[in-house]
């Protein structure tokens, strides 16, 4: 039996942090073992909001692939490619845009939220930004997958993808599946200050960060604010550190931490030192792989080039079928070529 197919992408807007890792990337790394996976760098999508700084986006493209492969994506198991090199996505997006009602796009909660957040810093009253989910629908549907592993914030976009698939199938005949979201099962990792981990909040730990860079960040984290002195008992549920211990500290050590914190025998500084050790254990193999890859930068481009070829092969097939359904085939032209 053919394994089910999976498609997902990330925008190259900066280095990956632990929030990305535990939110989406662990999921991808697991899925590549069982599914036929297509993972891509969404450089066109990055331009929808960063259109004024295209050179920055270009720089983040190989960095993102480095982060992925260092973290455990294996180009022998999955297809890793670059969106802008598969021009078929853009043509399918054009076709979808003919029948996608503006109301669907304007009502999209993710659209409203992101636009609101960036208001003031960027003018996002653009065709491209409003059309973000139409391009995303095309990224996905062109590979006709069953599943799309994304974070919670992407669910409205995925709903629109299914609506576009349904509308296409209704207007022109069946072609597209209605892919479902595959959410990550691991617990979410908040930022160092307890808010959502984000580059713009300055509360992130990056996958490529050295222990020297991480140490001051961890040492200044807020713990249970009701625990003023070491002799006061603490509550791990009210501490910014504990979600990290939950994800990266071994169970036995974590039990010791919980006991030591609630019985006031372990101080917060020691708990932070234990977290730093866990972070070091977690980051070391990732950074080791990164160093090897960085020593041969061509490798990243070879991975992308091979992935592009495999992705294009599939995209071309779907696009030909979609063009056929829309009566965009002109065999007469092929016959009269050269006459
Ligand atoms: N919108 C996604 C994000 O910001 C990135 C993305 C673009 C994507 N196209 C996609 C994700 C297709 C999944 C499938 O994270």
For atom 9 of ligand 1, which residue has the closest CA?
A: 136
pLDDT per residue as tens digits for the range 63-87: 999 999 999 999 999 999 999 999 9
How far is ligand 1, taken at its centre, from the CA of residue 133, in Å?
A: 9
**Ligand 1 centroid – CA 290 distance (Å):** 24
Task: Mark out the alpha helices in 143-267 (DSSP H runs).
Answer: 155-172, 211-219, 242-248, 251-262
Domain ranges across the chain: 5-189+298-338, 209-292
Protein residues whose CB sits closer than 6 Å to any atom of ligand 1: 7-11, 42, 45, 136, 139-140, 148, 150, 154
Q: What pLDDT score was predicted for residue 48?
A: 95
User: Rounded to 5 degrees, what are φ and ψ at 10?
Assistant: -135, 150
| 135 CA distance to ligand 1 middle (Å) | 9
Pocket mutation for ligand 1, best pick of 157, 184, 199 (most atoms within 8 Å of C-beta): 157
**Which of 11, 82, 151 maximizes ligand 1 atoms within 8 Å of its Cβ, making it the mutation to test the pocket?**
11
| Distance in Å, CA 293 to ligand 1 centroid | 25
Please answer whether residues 208 and 174 qualify as being in contact, where contact means their C-beta atoms are separated by less than 8 angstroms.
no
What the block records as the tokens of 184 is 């990550």
Q: What whole-number distance in Å separates Cα of residue 190 and Cα of residue 105?
A: 29
Q: Assess whether pLDDT exceeds 90 at residue 303.
A: yes
What pLDDT digit, counting tens, does each position of 140-151 carry?
Answer: 999 999 999 998
Give the helix ranges, DSSP H, for 78-210: 88-99, 102-107, 109-118, 127-130, 132-141, 155-172
Which residue's CA lies nearest to atom 2 of ligand 1? 10
pLDDT 10s digits, 220-278 = 999 998 888 889 999 999 999 999 999 999 999 999 999 999 999 999 999 999 999 99
pLDDT in tens, 155-184: 999 999 999 999 999 999 999 999 999 998
Q: Is the pLDDT of residue 196 over 80?
A: yes
**Test site for ligand 1: of 136, 147, 156, 160, most ligand atoms within 8 A of the Cβ:** 136
Q: Is the pLDDT of residue 43 over 70?
A: yes
Which atom of ligand 1 is found nearest the CA of 132?
A: 1
**Length of the chain as a residue count:** 339
Cα 164 to middle of ligand 1, angstroms: 16
Band (pLDDT 50/70/90 cuts) for residue 112 is confident
Would you say domain 5-189+298-338 falls under CATH 3.90.550.10?
no
Best mutation site among 139, 151, 160 for ligand 1, i.e. most ligand atoms within 8 A of its Cβ? 139
Task: Please identify, by atom number, the ligand 1 atom nearest to the C-alpha of residue 11.
Answer: 5
Measured by CA distance, the residue closest to atom 3 of ligand 1 is 10
Averaged over 98-111, what is the pLDDT?
94
Count Cβ neighbours within 10 Å for each residue of 177-214 and write b for 16 or more, e otherwise: bebebbebeeeebbbbeeebbebeeebbbbbbbeeeeb
Q: Find the 20 Cα to ligand 1 centroid distance in Å.
A: 13
Separation of CA 169 and ligand 1 centre (Å):
23
DSSP SS3 for 110: helix
**DSSP-derived 3-state class of residue 317:** helix
Closest-CA residue, ligand 1 atom 5, reads 10
pLDDT band at 337 (very low <50, low <70, confident <90, very high): confident
Q: How far apart are CA 316 and CA 301, in angstroms?
A: 22
Q: Which residues, at least 6 apart from 285, have a Cβ–Cβ distance to it below 8 Å? A: none
Can you tell me the mean pLDDT for 128-145? 97
% of residues, the chain, pLDDT over 70 = 99
Residue 339 pLDDT greater than 80, yes or no: no
Taking only the tens place, the pLDDT of each residue in 319-330 is 999 999 999 999
Q: How confident is the model at residue 110 (pLDDT cuts 50, 70, 90)?
A: confident
**What contacts 247, CB < 8 A, 6 or more positions away?**
22, 186, 187, 189
The pLDDT of residue 106: 93
Highest CATH level, class, for 209-292:
mainly alpha
């Amino acid at each position: 039996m053919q394994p089910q197919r999976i498609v997902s992408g990330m925008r190259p807007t900066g280095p990956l942090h632990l929030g990305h890792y535990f939110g989406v990337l662990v999921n991808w790394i697991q899925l590549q073992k069982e599914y036929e996976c297509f993972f891509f760098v969404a450089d066109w999508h990055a331009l929808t909001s960063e259109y004024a700084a295209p050179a920055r986006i270009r720089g983040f493209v190989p960095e993102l692939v480095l982060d992925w492969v260092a973290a455990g994506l294996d180009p022998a198991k999955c297809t890793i490619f670059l969106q802008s090199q598969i021009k078929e996505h853009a043509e399918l997006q054009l076709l979808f845009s003919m029948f996608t009602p503006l109301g669907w796009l304007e009502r999209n909660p993710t659209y409203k939220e992101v636009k609101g957040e960036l208001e003031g810093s960027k003018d996002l009253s653009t065709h491209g930004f409003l059309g973000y989910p139409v391009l995303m629908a095309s990224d996905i549907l062109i590979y006709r997958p069953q599943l799309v592993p994304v974070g919670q914030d992407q669910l409205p976009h995925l709903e629109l993808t299914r609506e576009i698939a349904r509308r296409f199938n209704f207007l022109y005949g069946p072609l597209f599946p209605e892919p479902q979201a595959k959410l990550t099962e691991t617990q979410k990792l908040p930022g160092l200050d307890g808010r959502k981990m984000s580059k713009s909040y300055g509360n992130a730990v990056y996958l490529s960060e050295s222990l020297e860079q991480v140490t001051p960040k961890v040492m200044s984290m807020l713990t249970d604010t009701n625990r003023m002195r070491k002799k006061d008992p603490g509550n791990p549920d009210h501490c910014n550190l504990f979600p990290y211990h939950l994800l990266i500290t071994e169970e036995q050590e974590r039990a010791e931490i919980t006991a030591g914190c609630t019985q006031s025998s372990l101080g917060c500084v020691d708990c932070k030192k234990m977290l730093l050790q866990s972070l070091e254990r977690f980051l070391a193999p990732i950074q080791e792989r990164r160093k090897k890859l960085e020593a041969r930068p061509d490798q990243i481009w070879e991975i992308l080039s091979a992935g592009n070829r495999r992705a294009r092969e599939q995209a071309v097939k779907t696009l030909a079928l979609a063009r056929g359904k829309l009566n965009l085939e002109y065999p007469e032209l092929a016959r009269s070529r050269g006459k």
